[in-house]
Every structure is written in C-alpha cells, then in structure tokens.
C-alpha cells in the first residue's frame, strides 16, 4: 500500500518551502521523482523554495508548473539545472 503524499490533502497551496539539510542517498528516489510526486497535486503552486538542497539534478520536473518564484539559496550543484530553469517562462 502506498502512503499518500502530504500535498494531496491540500491541493490549493500556492507557496511551499522544502528545505533539505541532509544528503540524498542513492537508495532514495531521484530528486525529480520526489519533486514530481510532491508537487503534482498542487495545481495552484506559484512559489517554490528549495534552499539548502545538496542535489537538484536537472529539475525537468518543474516544467509543468506555473511558478512565478523559485528560490534556490545555497544549492551547490545548481549548474546542473540552469538549462531547465531558464526555460520556465512564468518566473518573474
């Protein structure tokens, strides 16, 4: 039985901060899979804060979202995601 994602209970959230202070082990799901699972129920999401993440992969999972604000403070491997971030046309 799969445990429901916490965001499925509150689909109208417009802003969310997912600060991550620990490393991402190889046994965990990928960053894109995790973000897709958490963010897909949020149809109105406009602001996303991923500060302090150690890994963000390429963030291709953010393309379906209409984000106006994306905060990536102190993310060491941000360069991996730049190509996809610049393609998010809704960012202000």
What global pTM score does this model have?
0.86
CA distance 59 to 69: 14
As a whole number of Å, the end-to-end CA separation of the chain is: 40
The DSSP-derived string for 40-61 is TT-TT--EEE-TT-S--TT-GG
Give 3-57 pLDDT, tens digit per residue: 568 899 999 999 999 987 555 554 578 899 989 999 999 999 999 999 999 888 9
User: What is the C-alpha to C-alpha distance for residues 44 and 88, in angstroms, rounded to an integer?
Assistant: 16
For position 27, what pLDDT does the model report?
58
Instruction: Check residue 77 and give its pLDDT.
Output: 87
β-strand pairing of 69-71 with 47-49? parallel
Range with the lowest mean pLDDT among 17-21, 42-46, 76-80, 88-92?
17-21
Domain boundaries, the chain: 12-85
Beta bridge partners of 48: 16, 70
């Amino acid at each position: 039985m799969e445990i429901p994602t916490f965001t499925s209970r509150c689909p109208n959230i417009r802003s969310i901060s997912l600060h991550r202070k620990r490393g991402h082990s190889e046994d965990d799901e990928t960053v894109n899979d995790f973000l897709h699972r958490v963010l897909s129920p949020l149809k109105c999401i406009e602001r996303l804060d991923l500060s302090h993440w150690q890994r963000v992969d390429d963030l291709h999972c953010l393309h379906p979202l209409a984000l106006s604000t994306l905060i990536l403070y102190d993310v060491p491997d941000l360069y991996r995601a730049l190509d996809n971030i610049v393609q998010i046309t809704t960012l202000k």
